[in-house]
Amino acid sequence: MNLAELWPFYSEFAKHPSDRSIAPLAGIFYFMNKIEVVFQMAIKVSTTNRIPPFLAMEMMNATRELEVTGADLVHLEVGQPSTPPPPAVLRALTTSLGTTRTHGYSVAFGELPLRQRIAAHYEDWYDCRPDPANIAVTLGSSLGFTLAFLGAFDRGDRIAIANPGYPAYRNVMKALGLEPLLLPSRAAEGWVPRLEALANEGNLPDGLLLASPANPTGVVMSDADVKHICHWCDANGVRLIMDEIYHGLTFDTRPTSALLHSNSAIVVNSFSKYFCMTGWRLGWMILPDDLLEITERLAQNLYIGPSRPMQEGAMAAFDDYDMLDQNVLRYRENRDVLLRELPPEFLGDMAPADGAFYIYADLTHLSKTAVNSLDFANAMLREAHVACTSGVDFDQELGHRHLRLSYAGSTEDMKKASRRINSWLPSYLKSL
C-alpha cells in the first residue's frame, strides 16, 4: 500500500479523530510519511560527471578569502592580463549599450560584421582569409572547445591531448563521455608530444587537441611542427583541434596557424589573452565545412548566441595592435625578471618559455626532501602571500613536481613576488 492508497483513510481520520477503528491507519500513514521523507533525501546526482576541481580557480577562491582579511597578495595563479582592453574597445562597448539593437538576441554564430573582422585579422597576421561563414563567435574559448567536442565526436571516442596540458580539456571531455588520451611530453623534448607514440600503439585516436603557445609551459611549436601535425592528422583520419588562444603572445616570431596547413582542423581562439578581455567571455572558432551545420544547431540550443554588446566592443579590438604589443613587451620583461631573480633550483629544468605568460617551474632539485607542489603552493600563499598554481592541475602523474607561475601582471608585481619567495623559501625548506 502506497501513500496515495492511504490518503482516503487519512482524510477520514482527519474528519473523525476520535474513531479508534481508523487510528492505526493514521499511525501507518505517519510512519510511511517519515519513510518517504528519508527516501526523498536521496535525490539523483550524476555519477558520471565527477571531475577533478580546476585548481587554478580553487586557488583564486582562496586568494579572495585572504584578501577579505586585508592580506596583500601577489597574483601569479591565473592567466589573465592585468591591463584593460584598448580604450577603443571600451568606447565601442559603452556606445553599444545606448542602442536598442544590442539588447536583443544575437544569431548563434555571432554577428556577421565581427566575423568579417576576424577574417580580416587572419589576413593581416597569417596571409589567409577564412570565409566568415566558417567563423563562430562563442562564449569564451571554453564553450568553443565544448562545441568542438560535441560536434566532431561521439560518446566513447578517444581524443589525444598533451600532458601536461590545460585541465579543462580532459575534465570537459570526461563530462561529455569522451576519453582523453594523455600524450606525455617533457621539458627535455621541448614539451612537444611525439605523434609516433600514437602510431606505435596501433590504435589511433579519433581526435587530437594541441595548443601553441601552450599552457602551462609557454612553449611555442615551430612552423614545421604545426605543419607536420596537420598533415599527420589528415593522413590518418584524426580530427585536429588547435588551441591558438595565446597567439599574439610570443616574444620572437608569430606562430603559424593550423588554417594554413589543414582544411579539416578546428581552430579555437579568444579575446581573453592578447586582447585583454578575459572577463568578457568572448572567443571564436573556425570550422571546416563538414561541421558547420551540426555546430550551429548545438550553439542555437546551448546558448542561442553570444552577447551582442560584447561583440560590438570586440569589433574595435583589432584596431590597436601597437598598444596590445606593448603588453607583450611587458610580459617578456616580466618573464625575464622571474628567470633572473628566482633561484635556479626553484625554476629547475624547464624548456624556453617563448609564449603565453607562464613559467612551468620544476621543483625536483629544490630540496633533498621531496617537495609536493600542492603543499608548496598552499604554504607559499599563506606564508609568503604569493599565489601560484600547482602542476597537479595540468599533469596528474608528475604535476606534484611542478608549479605554474603566471607573469601576466605588472612588472612591479613580479619583482615583489621574487623578493617574497626568496625571503620565504629557506624557512620553508628547513621545515620539511
pLDDT per residue as tens digits for the range 352-402: 889 999 999 999 989 888 899 999 999 999 999 999 999 999 998 999 999
Which tops the pLDDT comparison, 35 or 113? Answer: 113
* Confidence category of residue 5, pLDDT binned at 50, 70, 90: low
Which residue ranges form the domains of the chain, and what is each CATH number? 3-41 (no CATH), 55-83+322-431 (3.90.1150.10), 87-320 (3.40.640.10)
Cell numbers 562563442 correspond to 138
Question: Residue 16 pLDDT more than 80?
Answer: no
Question: Residue 26 pLDDT more than 60?
Answer: no
Nearest to 205 by CA among 172, 181, 174: 181
Please tell me the predicted confidence (pLDDT) of residue 18: 55
pLDDT tens, residue by residue, 200-229: 666 899 999 999 999 999 999 999 999 999
Question: Residue 39 pLDDT more than 80?
Answer: no
Mean pLDDT computed over 103-118:
96
* Confidence category of residue 15, pLDDT binned at 50, 70, 90: low
Alpha-carbon span 173 to 165, nearest angstrom: 13
8-22, 244-258, 357-371: least confidently modelled range: 8-22
* Confidence category of residue 52, pLDDT binned at 50, 70, 90: confident
Q: Would the pTM count as exceeding 0.85?
A: yes
* Confidence category of residue 403, pLDDT binned at 50, 70, 90: very high
- What are the residues facing 211 on neighbouring strands? 243
Mean pLDDT computed over 254-273:
96
17-31, 164-178, 368-382: least confidently modelled range: 17-31
